[in-house]
Amino acid sequence: MRPTAAEEARTLVAEGRVAMLATLTADGGPWASLIVYATLPDGTPVLSVSELAEHGRNLQRDPRASLAIAATGGDGDPLATGRVTLAGAVEVAGDDEIGDAYHGFADFTRYVLRIERIRWVGGYARMDSPSVADYRAAEPDPVAPAAAGAVRHLNADHADALLDMARALGGHPEAAAARCERADRYGLDLAVTGPDGRAWARVDFAAPVSAPDGLRAATVELARRARAT
């Protein structure tokens, strides 16, 4: 069991703070720039846009916009990193909709991006285009804020438990080593080294985790189950 594309996209947007914005110049060409954003509870991004910046003038002229958000903290192959593109059109945000999602600066306009299309890429082989309805309905992964720390801890201090998991639960009984590459609410992705080289394994938690502090207990249960198998 894995997060759906809609959940992956919602999680990337919820976890991010900086995005790249694509807008249209006066002659209809593309313009890429950096922007900070906040996220409303339904996954709608709120952009804080300087009217003095080129992208601010672009949006006043043509509201079409696209945001690209990449997972942070990856220090490996950037093309193996999760990222998502949202495309649609911006509208000036009303206070009733965004509340205090952004305490604006002077000379900044707050826009909401009305999403029309979504493309998620999880790495080389995982990609999908979730519907906007599915995206809005999906819950961001509650363990995402704790996942990077948990992965580091597992690799630093629990290599034996990871190897047990790969052998007993991950379908690699002859594994010689296992490294955790990613944790989400449903389980762990392991990179396994064995007699046939490197492979990926997925091990699922007994039940989906619903809060960041549930990740530890779910991982301990996985390790016990692997040892007992």
**Site residues (CB under 8 A) for a second copy?**
17-25, 28-34, 36, 54, 64-68, 70, 78-79, 81, 83, 85, 87, 119, 121
The least CB distance from residue 205 to a second copy, in Å, is 29
13 vs 18, 72, 83, 93, 225, CA distance in Å? Answer: 9, 11, 9, 18, 33
Question: What's the N-to-C CA distance of the chain in angstroms?
Answer: 20
The least CB distance from residue 182 to a second copy, in Å, is 18
The least CB distance from residue 104 to a second copy, in Å, is 13
Q: Cβ contacts of residue 160 below 8 Å, gap of 6+?
A: none
The least CB distance from residue 67 to a second copy, in Å, is 6
Q: What angle do CA 188, 191, 197 make, to 5 degrees?
A: 150
Nearer to a second copy by C-beta: 12 or 166? 12
Nearer to a second copy by C-beta: 88 or 142? 88
Helix %, strand %, coil % of the chain (to 5): 30, 35, 35
Nearer to a second copy by C-beta: 76 or 197? 76
Helix (H) or strand (E) holding 133: helix 132-137
Nearer to a second copy by C-beta: 125 or 228? 125
Phi and psi of 10, rounded to 5°?
A: -60, -40
The least CB distance from residue 42 to a second copy, in Å, is 21
Nearer to a second copy by C-beta: 47 or 161? 47
The Cα 29–Cα 170 span in angstroms is: 48
